[in-house]
Amino acid sequence: MSIQVNERTGVFSLTTAHTLYQMKADSSGVLLHLYYGQKTDEDMSYLVRTADRGFSGNPYEMRNERTYSLDQLPQEYSGSGVGDYRVSAVQVTGANGSRSVDLRFAGVRTEKGRKALPGMPFVRESDETETLIVTLQDKVIGLEAELRYHVFPSQDVIVRSVRLLNRSGQEMVIRKAASACLDFPFGEYDVLHFHGRHCMERIPERMPLPRGVVSFGSRRGMSSHHSNPFVILCERHATEKSGECYGAMMVYSGNHLEEMEVDQVGGVRLVSGIHPDGFAWTLAPGEAFETPEVILSFSAQGLNGLSRQYHDILRQQVIAARWRQPRPVLINSWEAAYFDFDAEKILNFARAAREMGMEMLVLDDGWFGKRDDDSSGLGDWVVNERKLGCSMRELSDRVHEMGMKFGLWFEPEMISEDSDLYRAHPDWALTDPDRKPVMSRNQMVLDMSREDVVDYIYKAMCAVLDEARIEYVKWDFNRSVANVYSHALPANRQGEVAHRFMLGTYRLLERLEARYPDLMIEGCSGGGGRFDAGMLFYCPQIWCSDDTDAVERLEIQRGTSYGYPVSAMGSHVSASPNHQTGRIVSLNTRGIVAQSGTFGIELNPEKLSETEKDSIREQVRAYHRYQELIADGTYYRLTELDENRDYVAWMITSRDGSEALVSLVMTHVRANSPFPYIRLQGLLPGETYQLEGTDRCFTGAALMHGGVAVDQAREDYEAVQLHFVSTRKKG
Ligand code: DGJ
């Protein structure tokens, strides 16, 4: 039993393999957070201490108890306007204009398993999942909050979300509805967040939490390149291998906010949810609002330990089970041809890719409507047969005849000003009345909050998907959202548009999934602008970045790995000099970096020499050999963040510890330099491992404690890959 409701003490305990989470309603009905961290067998309520702090007022019923203040009690879901001055979890305006919310305990129940979150991505139940539902109420305004906790014991994960229900007889407006609030009574924490920009996503930044509020988030209508919906709080001395770390990851792809506050006495509060800026959701009597989910996890095994828990929960319970199989190695036409192609060129790519051992051809942007550059055509999902020289059916058939699968690019949520769709339905774009829209990449954003728009795009996509033989869709999203105004909603509902937009996108994804269960969708947003657990629910892999430079990718993929598994990272070998940076990097290094992901190429085979083709053929062969290990294995970052600037190293160990793939890229060669010593992880100490391609053998203990000197890379950007296999496995 991972959930215990102790009738005697009133303590609710959530237990996972290594963690304990506890809460309890006090005598005033305030739901106190007692503890989250390493497992103990104790009632942790002794941790809650109070004192008369001054300027921290008391609820009326406790007016004679000056040590009792919401301003210092650790809480599960803080209200607002009633004496807790820290960042709040929920804000609501009632019919009389009052903004105060004061939630008190009203009931608790447990459920085996978990219910789906309708219309939104969620963490799928496992055999072990149990759910705790705590109901809080503010009887004055008639607001009910159902706090949900889904426990995933083996992965050391607790998933939280909230359902807000209007039990009053009048409308109320939700201004803020966080998915989770987590209070720590003490702790000196660093925060790690993942910032970035187009072509440089999820760059980790670590800093001590100062007094006051630190927040990260996105108001771009998408989870964004700029701030991933994932934060880590860790002990100041935590490293990749040791120290206590907490993670909070939203299962959501739209606007989000992560707030961390260190209060007057050093307590820490973390609040995570939909960004309240621009958000206002009207609830009629009897209506409910569901927040997205947040995945909480704790590890005492350092940052690597925490990452592994996120990798596991995403691979096992978020990404659909049917994608737990080798995914096709692909050639994508984008950097190979951009908009300049016809069917013959594409077929030549497919033929060459097939000869190099690849399994799928993906036709990127430019196959539809009027689309020879990015100035027109989005929304007109009609095959441009004149440009191709044949129908999509014929093209896809001919690709299949070569023994290859076929994939196609779409950007379903966008509309070009110069498109038949926009000419017919200008009101289908998100635009402010009487105001010229903000343009970005010459395009506007479709109003996905409208059912008729979702329906139209669904049918337009189905027409193409039904006509041709298509196994894969690349789902792109190439601008931030602005002019968040729906012409189908009244003035007082415009604060709902950004979230309704996401619900519309999820609905479209769900409808397509229901109709084409075998269709693999790769997420993309100008690279990795929507790399989040919400999209991973529908898309087993996401294009990591439009920056395909292998050296830049070291940072991008490393940063991504804090929260997300390599099996989700779209990564390809592209041209050298690289199209984004002009950097020249060897094919060997480009291959090794792309192999720590879904692997494919983004190259024009016509420009490759026979030697290069042979090398790529060898890379594809190696990837096929390691594919299961890479997709399913345990990932370790072997170099500390900012520890050294000379090389980056990482490894993947199979779950049974029988083999490991170690990769190292030299980023800065120095004269007379020390050897890069790498200590391996996750091996079996007593096992003997042979280094592939040599007759050298080592015990797991030697490799993990003594390590190996990886000194073969002697030039900037040169890479080394070492494969160790247990001699028992080799037989
Ligand atoms: C951005 C994507 O990230 C690229 O890979 C490519 O698909 C272009 N969009 C096409 O417009």
User: Domains of the chain: which residue ranges?
Assistant: 3-318, 322-543, 637-730
- Cα of 365 vs centre of ligand 1, distance in Å, is 7
Ligand 1 mutation pick, 340, 367, 524, max ligand atoms within 8 A of CB: 524
Tell me the C-alpha distance between 261 and 266, whole Å. Answer: 9
Q: DSSP code of 280? A: -
Does residue 277 sit in helix, strand or coil? coil
pLDDT score at 69: 97
Q: Dihedrals φ, ψ of 687, to 5°? A: -85, 150
Report the separation in Å between the CA atom of 542 and the middle of ligand 1, taken as the mean of its atom positions: 12
Class of domain 637-730: mainly beta
User: How far is the C-alpha of 430 from the C-alpha of 425, rounded, in Å?
Assistant: 11
Nearest Cα residue to 271 out of 299, 251, 294? 294
Do the strands 520-523 and 541-543 form a parallel or antiparallel pair, or are they unpaired? parallel
Q: Which stretch of DSSP H or E encloses residue 30?
A: none
Which atom, in ligand 1's list, is nearest to the CA of 525? 3
Give strand ranges (E) for 545-633: 569-570, 600-601
| pTM to 2 decimal places | 0.98
In short, whether 476's Cβ falls inside 6 Å of ligand 1 is: yes
pLDDT of residue 714: 86
Contact 134, 108 (CB under 8 A): yes
Indicate whether residue 547 lines ligand 1 (CB < 6 A). no
Active site residues: 532, 612
State residue 731's pLDDT score. 73
531 Cβ closer than 6 Å to some ligand 1 atom: no
Are β-strands 157-166 and 189-197 bridged in parallel, bridged antiparallel, or unpaired? Answer: unpaired
The CATH code for residues 3-318 is 2.70.98.60
Question: How far is the C-alpha of 704 from the C-alpha of 706, rounded, in Å?
Answer: 6
As its CATH architecture, domain 322-543 has: Alpha-Beta Barrel (3.20)
Nearest atom, ligand 1, residue 602 CA:
5
Per CATH, 3-318 and 322-543 having the same topology is answered no
Binding site membership of 543 for ligand 1 (Cβ less than 6 Å): yes
CB-CB contact of 75 with 31 (8 Å): yes
Q: Is 419 helix (H, G, I), strand (E, B) or coil?
A: coil
Q: How many Cβ atoms sit within 10 Å of the Cβ of residue 270?
A: 24
What residue has token string 């991008």? 556
Quick count: other Cβ atoms within 10 Å of Cβ 547? 23
The Å distance, Cα 543 to ligand 1 centre, comes to 9
Length of the chain measured in residues: 731
Distance 371 CA to ligand 1 centre (A): 13
* Contact of 136 with 31, CB cutoff 8 Å: yes
Averages of pLDDT over each 10 residues, the chain, 731 residues: 96 98 98 98 96 95 96 97 98 95 98 97 98 98 98 98 98 98 94 98 97 98 98 97 98 98 96 98 98 98 98 98 96 98 98 98 98 98 98 98 98 98 98 98 98 98 98 98 98 98 98 98 98 98 98 98 98 98 98 98 97 98 97 96 87 97 96 92 98 97 97 92 93 73
pLDDT (0 to 100) of residue 481: 98
Tell me the torsion sign for CA atoms 419, 421, 424, 428: negative
